[in-house]
Amino acid sequence: MLKHELRKLFLEKRRKLSKGQKAQFDHLIKSAFQKLFPDDAKCVHIYLPIRSKNEIDTWPIIQELWSNRVEVAVPVTHPVENRMNSTLLTPATKLKESKWGVPEPVFPKEIKNSEIDVVVLPLLAFDRQGYRIGYGQGFYDQFLSSFRKHVIKIGLSYFLPIERITDRGPWDIPMDACITPEKVFKF
């Protein structure tokens, strides 16, 4: 299937999850993340969930990272320049919603990409080769292209992979792993 068809299909699948299913899946994903997380990671870039899109709740993962003294960075988008950067998130950080409904720090303190060990990626769908489909703005592909090679890229998904995204582009960057409620996929 093509990316635009997959976006529509998986947005609808996500919207149809009951609150109970979502809560159970979020818990399973958090547990799997804890087992997969590298012991030596000191800074994690992780997205904050868009509630209106029924995204995976990353707040329990963030709380766990903080309790283990891992620094947390979140994205701030710059739509005019079509880019995003990482900013520090602490328990005291004040947030506001961007034009896309993404919670972002009000007073962002930038974190350099060289300080980040793990990037946790939002996605709608992914394939067996580790490629993901986001919302189609290209922020994460551009963002990931600016990292050193050894940064670990982990996706989170409520659903199992499809066989293959047929219209992948040369700019698409594969993940190293994707966590689902049923299984962790490594690429």
Domains annotated for the chain, with CATH where assigned, are 3-186 (3.40.50.10420)
- Is the pLDDT confidence value at 169 over 90? no
pLDDT of residue 95: 97
Q: Which residues contact 16 (CB under 8 A, 6 or more apart)?
A: none
Length of the chain: 187
Q: What is the pLDDT of residue 137?
A: 75
The neighbour count for residue 130, using CB atoms within 10 Å, is 19
Which whole number is the average pLDDT over 48-54?
A: 93
**Coil, helix or strand for 51?**
helix
| Intra-chain end-to-end CA distance of the chain, in Å | 21
Q: Which amino acid is at 104?
A: E
Q: How many Cβ atoms from other residues are within 10 Å of residue 112's Cβ? A: 10
**Residue written as tokens 């594969």?**
174
Residue, of 55 and 147, whose pLDDT is higher? 55
Place of tokens 């087992």: 35
Average pLDDT of the chain? 93
pLDDT digits (tens, 9 = 90+) for 57-72: 999 999 999 999 999 9
pTM comes to: 0.93
Please answer whether residues 119 and 127 qualify as being in contact, where contact means their C-beta atoms are separated by less than 8 angstroms.
no
* Cα–Cα distance for residue pair 71/156, rounded to 1 Å: 19
Segment (H or E) for 21: helix 19-36
Helix (H) or strand (E) holding 72: strand 71-78
pLDDT above 90: percentage of residues in the chain: 78
- Consecutive H or E run containing 46: strand 43-46
